[in-house]
Structure 1
Amino acid sequence: MKGLIRKEWYSLWSQYRIHMLAMFGLGILLPIIKNTDFFFDESLWMYCAGITIFYILMHSIEYEKTSKWGMYRAALPIKGREIIFSKYIFGFVIMLSASVLLVAGSMLCQMMIMGKIDTYFIRHIAKNIWFTSTVNMTIVFPILCRYGYDKGGSIVWLIICIMGFTYPWKIKQFLLNLPFSTITFFILLFIIWCFSGVLSCKLYEKRND
């Protein structure tokens, strides 16, 4: 399990550095365009960030398929559920890294432009990317575990596109009306990730029975 996590961590910083730097750049950009016609809504921008996070995860899965990692894995004492959990840990780390970079970029830009930090805006973009990433991960990743990358990949991207046209503008109102704190919200999302991981393991084992 530790070896799988190290492999995912290495791939994150060796193959996806540009994507992570783009998150920092987006964080700097958001306060600049916040009061312009280019801003639209932060939920749309956060949904784009969420899609980027999910693209990294999907590309990681595709890379293992094209690199014939499964052939080598068959000779190693690695269980299927360990692979699934390593992907969930990988996705969770990406989500946290992206949110930290977004927040850091926004705080830096606000300090340079306004001389103060809008904590409400910072909390909102953090909650937004957490929520978007969680929805993407918990809905579509079990589909990949059930049907595999070849069959499930097209279904997954279709769902992501449909979600992109329907709910980004509704997220803002939902997050504004949360009856609990940001920390509580993060804990609830973490629990959802755990339940989704268990479900994905069950579906993966069922597919490979």
Structure 2
Amino acid sequence: MKETPNATWPVHAVITNSTYDGLLYNTDFIKKTLDVKSIHFDSAWVPYTNFSPIYEGKCGMSGGRVEGKVIYETQSTHKLLAAFSQASMIHVKGDVNEETFNEAYMMHTTTSPHYGIVASTETAAAMMKGNAGKRLINGLLNVRSNSGKEIKRLRTESDGWFLMYGSRIISIRLNAGRCVLTAPGTASKTSITSTCI
């Protein structure tokens, strides 16, 4: 800033959380230490983080208000919650001038909204409200954990590569440049002439 004439300290920061490779930041630390008046967490891929304690301090809306700051968090609700394609939400924590915020919002959105999309965000919010959302997300986290353990077990037992197809595990063995698919518990094998990667 010293080298730029008339430069001033930024008043707003935009942070992608999670990153595109899945890294979640310590948002509580960022909110307390980043010296700006407002922070926007672009949380497109993680609208579920506020519903499980394992993500505590990792989402923009976690924790309480931060004195003297406004925290924004945007989420692409359609990506991971039950909302129509293109549905998204803006969450705000802190003191904002609602009239100014609404005018800015209307300037950058359509004058012909698709009310089906709007209704789907309301439905998604209702589905996640209270303990129902917490039970849903924690149930999914348990499924993910158990699936990971099962995949690890199957990998150690397999003498080749394997993949999931629907609810069936299919072993893939390389045999003279061909893939041989075998469903465990069956004698049937299917040869595929395409290259295995």
More strand by share: 2
Structure number with bigger Rg = 2
TM-score by length of 2: 0.26
Say which structure, 1 or 2, has more relative contact order (CA 8 Å, 6+ apart): 1
More helix by share: 1
